[in-house]
Chain A
């Protein structure tokens, strides 16, 4: 079904623009057209339908569910909910405090917050259409694993003692939350449609520029960086290439929709999957602007620990996947 996008790009690039079939520019332009059209088409269709389905899921429900759960189920479900709950990074502080003051352990809250930028419906969708289901599955499992182990680790070191004093107080004096949904009427299809429309506009207005930037970079890589160069220099998964990729990802600030087209290109050029994933996850999850936000509820020490934890896990993931060597 997705072939129509290749054919459309063929036609525009080679017939309409008259670019030569195997030229560098032709390759880059073709990649750009195919991917932008495909990505926007998929985004519009899928965001709408997914939003229709999850219109009745909200953050209050998630909190009520997670409060009072067994710890280990908590980390797992926290991470899963982080992946599926609609959630904007500007809400991370209120969500953090809402969870904490509902008595949910910091580790479980962080499982939620760490997984959230890594996995979402847009990311999964793009991965599926650009790099295939095997890598998508690996990506999702790795994302969940990072969230879960990160959460467990933070509770083991008693991260709550490193919160800002008012947040710690809120955690210690937590009361059971009121059941928020008990007195809410079920939502009608009309409301679902409204919600889905709103979500679609919202997400598109947030990600469109990342798609262009990401696909642009991917296209440039695709057209102008020779396969032989990447294969010769990074192709065998040299051990230092993974931490290097993670470090490179930190100052690059993007979200999943921008980085996945770059991933597609890097994998096609022969960069090992572990190195590629390490780079992409670091770009998406380890970003300074969002970390600085958390300073409002955490001490510098805890922030530094979480940051180091992320970098270490991405490096470990990269090494492991390179060692296993999927092909």
Chain B
């Protein structure tokens, strides 16, 4: 199962990012575990400065915007 972290200080965009990842995963019936990570220390440890950012299995994939569907699908495969 893929471990997906959405990094962000809890703003609306971060919530939306987490939701859209979850919904794409559910649609394609891929099991994922999406967690929202709000701790500044953790966000810093990934070197992220613009949120929301997405970490898949501990690798930073995306930062600074709500990812589009195509991107999300590419992470889940």
Query: In the complex, are the beta carbons of B50 and A97 less than 8 A apart?
Result: no
Residues of chain A within 8 A of B11, CB atoms compared: 88, 90
Q: B26: CB under 8 A from chain A?
A: no
Q: Mark B24-50, 1 if CB is under 8 A from A, else 0.
A: 000000000000000011011001111
Residues of chain A within 8 A of B65, CB atoms compared: 198
Beta-carbon nearest neighbor of A296 in chain B: B40
Residues of chain B within 8 A of A153, CB atoms compared: none
Query: In the complex, are the beta carbons of A98 and B44 less than 8 A apart?
Result: yes
Distance (Å) between the CB of B15 and the closest chain A CB?
11
Residues of chain A within 8 A of B48, CB atoms compared: 94, 98
Given A59-B49, A98-B49, A293 contacting B64 (CB threshold 8 A): no
Given A58-B64, A293-B9, A91 contacting B49 (CB threshold 8 A): yes
Beta-carbon nearest neighbor of B13 in chain A: A90
Q: A166: CB under 8 A from chain B?
A: yes
Query: In the complex, are the beta carbons of A94 and B50 less than 8 A apart?
Result: yes
Query: In the complex, are the beta carbons of A95 and B44 less than 8 A apart?
Result: no
Beta-carbon nearest neighbor of A170 in chain B: B44
Q: Which of A58, A60, A94 contacts B44, CB < 8 Å?
A: A94
Q: A101 vs B42: C-alpha distance in the bound complex, in angstroms?
A: 13
Residues of chain A within 8 A of B50, CB atoms compared: 58-59, 91, 94-95
Q: Size class of B's contact patch?
A: 10 to 19
Beta-carbon nearest neighbor of B53 in chain A: A94
Q: Size class of A's contact patch?
A: 20 to 34
Residues of chain B within 8 A of A97, CB atoms compared: 40, 43-44, 49
Distance (Å) between the CB of A182 and the closest chain B CB?
15
Residues B48-77 near A (CB distance < 8 A):
48-51, 64-65
The 9 closest A-B pairs by CB, nearest first: A98-B49, A90-B11, A97-B44, A59-B49, A94-B49, A93-B40, A296-B40, A95-B49, A94-B43
State the B residues within 8 Å of A (CB): 7-11, 13, 40-41, 43-44, 47-51, 64-65
State the A residues within 8 Å of B (CB): 58-60, 63, 88, 90-91, 93-95, 97-99, 101, 166, 170, 198, 293, 296-297
A-B contact pairs, 20 of them (CB 8 A): A58-B50, A58-B64, A59-B49, A63-B49, A88-B11, A90-B8, A91-B9, A91-B49, A93-B40, A94-B40, A94-B43, A94-B44, A94-B49, A94-B50, A94-B51, A97-B40, A98-B47, A98-B48, A101-B44, A198-B65
Given contacts A90-B13, A94-B51, A97-B40, 9 further A-B contacts (CB under 8 A): A60-B49, A88-B11, A90-B11, A93-B40, A94-B7, A95-B49, A95-B50, A198-B65, A297-B40
